[in-house]
């Protein structure tokens, strides 16, 4: 598929090459609404290549601690929106930290995952059933059934975000809630080529306003949409950008650094994250934090 034939999924208009850091990643932007996307035709094959059966993901102490902290936060948000014992589906559960937290919180939890090998590993680790399939197919086979669906850092990987949000809507019972997190291309770090949101497998880049529009169009009522500035957002973006410049190549995964380097890096991340705390608060509060968190409800009468 070429840029000339590619249309914006949000408004149906044409796209043109994006500028600045986005140009380095060969992204395109809608000429009408500004939505930024990658011009890849086959999203599912791309995801299988990056997150297929060989994918294990980062699994160091820092990642596990961040996973658990995020799981606790999502559990708090969902706890306010749900009754105990509610049936919850997580799409793309990763290592399963949230599945474990939700099960421990008294919910009936299931996962849905694209890769059979990842589904099996996550299911064994979390002791929560994880099915294999795409959200579109699963929602057509299963239909209405969940009081909540959680989808964290998955929507930006999908070639058809409109179809994905419609599938979420199908999976939810009336009054059910969707919790969705994606990177925010409205964050100031996105001006840097090493921003962690830029990934070869990210196909769509949302702002809070465009994510809201996508959900409202599918029939959701948006309960809250907030942004969050993660602890290491700036450090990671700056370090990746400098590394890119030194290599003078595409930003990408370098060789695995040694234990000492990782240790020193984590100390620096912690120090800078703490120093930048006031900036992070202002950035998140003004809707420019690098992660968007959306909570939306399927109205009781559609």
List residues binding Zn ion (CB under 5 A).
8, 10-11, 30, 32-33, 35
User: By C-beta, is 217 or 245 nearer to Zn ion?
Assistant: 217
Q: Are 181 and 289 in contact (CB under 8 A)?
A: no
Cβ closest to Zn ion, residue 15 vs residue 89: 15
| Minimum CB distance to Zn ion smaller for 9 or for 176 | 9
Nearest by Cα to 191 from 17, 22, 16, 15? 22
CB 71 within 8 A of CB 90: no
Rg (CA), the chain: 19
**In this complex, which beta carbon is closest to Zn ion, that of residue 35 or of residue 157?**
35
Q: Where are the alpha helices (DSSP H) in the chain?
A: 21-24, 43-51, 61-81, 97-104, 116-126, 135-142, 161-171, 208-217, 233-247, 259-275, 277-285
In the bound complex, what is the minimum distance in angstroms from residue 8's beta carbon to Zn ion?
Answer: 3
The least CB distance from residue 190 to Zn ion, in Å, is: 18
The nearer residue to Zn ion, 35 or 202, going by C-beta atoms, is 35
- Least separation in angstroms between residue 28's CB and Zn ion is 11
CB 97 within 8 A of CB 70: yes
Minimum CB–partner distance for residue 239 and Zn ion (Å):
33
The CB-of-34 to Zn ion minimum distance in angstroms stands at 7
State how far the Cα of 286 lies from the Cα of 176, in Å rounded to an integer: 28
Residue 149's SS3 state is strand
């Amino acid at each position: 598929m070429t840029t000339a034939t590619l249309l914006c999924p949000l408004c149906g208009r044409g796209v043109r090459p994006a500028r600045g850091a986005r140009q380095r990643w060969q992204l395109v932007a809608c000429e009408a609404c500004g939505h930024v996307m990658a011009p890849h035709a086959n999203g599912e094959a791309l995801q299988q290549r990056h997150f297929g059966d060989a994918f294990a993901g980062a699994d160091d102490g820092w990642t596990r601690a961040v996973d658990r902290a995020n799981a606790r936060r999502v559990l708090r948000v969902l706890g306010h929106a749900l009754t105990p014992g509610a049936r919850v589906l997580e799409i793309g559960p990763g290592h399963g930290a949230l599945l474990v937290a939700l099960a421990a919180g008294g919910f009936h939890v299931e996962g849905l995952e694209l890769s059979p090998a990842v589904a099996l590993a996550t299911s064994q680790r979390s002791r929560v059933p994880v099915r294999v399939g795409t959200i579109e197919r699963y929602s057509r086979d299963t239909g209405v059934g969940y009081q909540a669906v959680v989808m964290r850092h998955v929507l930006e990987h999908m070639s058809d975000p409109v179809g994905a949000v419609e599938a979420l809507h199908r999976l939810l019972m009336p009054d059910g809630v969707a919790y969705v997190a994606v990177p925010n291309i409205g964050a100031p770090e996105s001006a840097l080529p090493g921003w962690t949101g830029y990934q070869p497998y990210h196909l769509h880049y949302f702002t809070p306003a465009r994510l809201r529009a996508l959900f409202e169009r599918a029939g959701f009522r948006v309960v809250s949409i907030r942004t969050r500035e993660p602890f290491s957002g700036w450090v990671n973006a700056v370090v990746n950008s400098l590394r890119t410049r030194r290599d003078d190549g595409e930003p990408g995964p370098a060789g695995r650094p040694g234990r000492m380097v990782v240790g020193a890096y984590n100390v620096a991340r912690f120090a800078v994250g703490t120093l930048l705390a006031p900036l992070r608060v202002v950035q998140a509060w003004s809707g420019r934090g690098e992660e968007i968190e959306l909570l939306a409800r399927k109205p009781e009468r559609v």
